[in-house]
Structure 1
Amino acid sequence: MNVKKFITFEGGDGAGKSVQIQKLYHRLKQEHGPVYVTREPGGTALGETLRTMILRTPDLAPKSLCALFIAARHHHWAQVIAPALAQGFWVLCDRFIHSTFVYQGGIGGLDFEFIQLLHEQLEAYIIPGLTFVLQSVPTESYARCQRRDSSQKNYLDQRNFSIHCAVEKAYNDLSLGNIVRIAPGNLKETEESVWKSFQHYLLKECSE
C-alpha cells in the first residue's frame, strides 16, 4: 500500500492539531482533492467506542491501554484508511502511531521495542508518508486544556503541567518516519508553515 498520501498530525494536547487539519483539508480539497479526515482513537464505530472508554478510564494498565490502541489502529487502517488511499484520497489523521510511542512509551514507560513488536504482530506497524508534529509552549498548551468546557474534559485534560513538558520533550526526541516539526506560532503562521512544508513534500514525492 502506497502511504504517500497518508498525512498525520501529532503534538501534545492543546497544540492545535484539529484546527490545522481542517485548514490543510480545505486547501488540499481545493487544489489536490479528494481528501478524507479521520482521527485516533476513533475513525470507526469500534474506534469511537474505545475512545470513549479509554478517555473515561484512567486506571487501565499500560500494556492493556497500548494493546487497545493498537488493535483499534489495525481496524482503522484496514476498514478506513487503506481503502481511502486505494481510491486515491489524501488521508489526514489526527494522531496515529507516533502518539503510542510518545504516550505509552516515552511517558508511560513501555519499551519501544515492545510497542513496535505489538504493532507488527497486529499488522498495524504503518508509518505515514508525512507526519507533522505541532510543537507548543507547554504553558500555553496546558492553559488551553484547562480552558476546555468541563463537560467535554476527560482525564487527559486533568494532567498536570509537568506532563505537558514531558510530552513536548518526548515528541522532540522521537525519530520515526518522515517528521516535519512545526515551531510554535500564531494560527496563520502555523497554517503557512504546514502548507509550505506540504508543498515541499509534494514536489519531492513527484520528482522521485
Structure 2
Amino acid sequence: MTAPRLPGTLVTFEGPGGVGKSTIVTLVADLLNADGVAVHAAVQPSRAPLGDLARHGTDTYRGMALACLCAADRHHQLATEILPALAEGKLVLCDRYVASSLVLQGIDDIPLDVVWALNHGAYRPDLVVALSAAPADVEDRLHARGGHSRFERTPGNSLRETHGYQAATTFLHEQGWPVHVVDCADNPQITGGTIIDLIRPILTESPACP
C-alpha cells in the first residue's frame, strides 16, 4: 500500500561521490531559506548511530550486511526525522536516498531487486535530482578532496558509479518516481538555480495523490 502524501515536499539528490551533492544541497537550502521557505536539510547515511556505522564502516561491512544497515538507517531516519518534517509542511532536501543504495550495494553485487525490497515503504520523493558530470571530472574532484568511503577510494569508481546511477535512475523512473537529470555546471550557482527552478513549481502544488 502506498503511503499517503504529506503536506511537505521531499527532494532527494543523487549522483556519484565527488559530483558535488553536498555543495549543491547547501547552496539550494541557503537560497530557499533566504526566500522564506522552511527547509530541512538531511543526509544519508544519517548522523544517528545507525548512520554513523554505515558511513564510517564501509571497510568493515560489505554486501548484504551493509545493504541491510543502510536500509535500516533509512527507515529509521524516515520515521524519526524526514516524515515528521514533511508532516510539518517543510521542504526536505536529502543528500542521497534510495538510488545511492541501488548503486553502491550493486557495486557490492547485491541484486537490484533485493535492494529495492529492503527499501520497500520508503517515502517516494516529490523530485529526484540526479546530478551528472563527466566521470573524469568527478574523479578529479575526488582526488582533490579524498575518498570518504571504500567505494570512493577504489580506482575507476567514478565510472562505475556514473553507469550505476544511469541504470538506477532509469529504474526509479519506471517505478513512477519523478527523476530529473541535472548536469553540474562549473559554477555551482548555475546548477543551484536550475534546481530551484525545478523545485518552485512543486512547492505551489497541492500534495500529490497516493
Gaps of 5+ in 2: none
Structure 2 matches for 1:31-42, cutoff 5 A? Answer: 31-42=35-46
Q: Say whether residues 1:147 and 2:144 are aligned partners.
A: yes
Residue of structure 2 equivalent to 1:112: 112
Residue of structure 2 equivalent to 1:72: 73
**Which residue identity is paired with 2:151?**
L
Gaps of 5+ in 1: none
Segments ≥4 residues shifted beyond 4 Å: none
Cα RMSD after superposing both structures: 2.2
Contact 1:25 1:92 in 2 (8 A): yes
Change (3 A) 1:89 1:102: same
Q: What SS class does the counterpart of residue 133 from structure 2 fall into?
A: coil
Please report how far the alpha carbon of residue 83 of structure 1 lies from its aligned counterpart in structure 2 after TM superposition.
0.8
Contact 2:13 2:93 in 1 (8 A): yes
Please report how far the alpha carbon of residue 49 of structure 1 lies from its aligned counterpart in structure 2 after TM superposition.
4.0
Change (3 A) 1:207 1:82: closer
Q: What SS class does the counterpart of residue 37 from structure 1 fall into?
A: strand
Distance in 1 separating the partners of 2:87 and 2:206:
18
Write out per-residue CA displacement over residues 62-91 of structure 1, whole angstroms, 9 at most, x where no aligned residue. Answer: 111100000011111001001111111111
Residue of structure 1 equivalent to 2:48: 44
Residue of structure 1 equivalent to 2:86: 85
Please report how far the alpha carbon of residue 184 of structure 1 lies from its aligned counterpart in structure 2 after TM superposition.
3.1
**Which residue identity is paired with 1:165?**
L
Change (3 A) 1:207 1:51: closer
Change (3 A) 1:35 1:70: same
Residue of structure 2 equivalent to 1:19: 23
Residue of structure 2 equivalent to 1:2: 5
User: Which has a greater percent of helix?
Assistant: 1
Q: Matched residues, percent identical?
A: 25
Relative to the length of structure 1, the TM-score reads 0.84
Q: Say whether residues 1:164 and 2:158 are aligned partners.
A: yes
Write out per-residue CA displacement over residues 139-173 of structure 1, whole angstroms, 9 at most, x where no aligned residue. Answer: 11111111125xx8443331112x21121112122
How many residues of Structure 1 are paired with residues of Structure 2 in the alignment? 197
Distance in 2 separating the partners of 1:195 and 1:164:
26
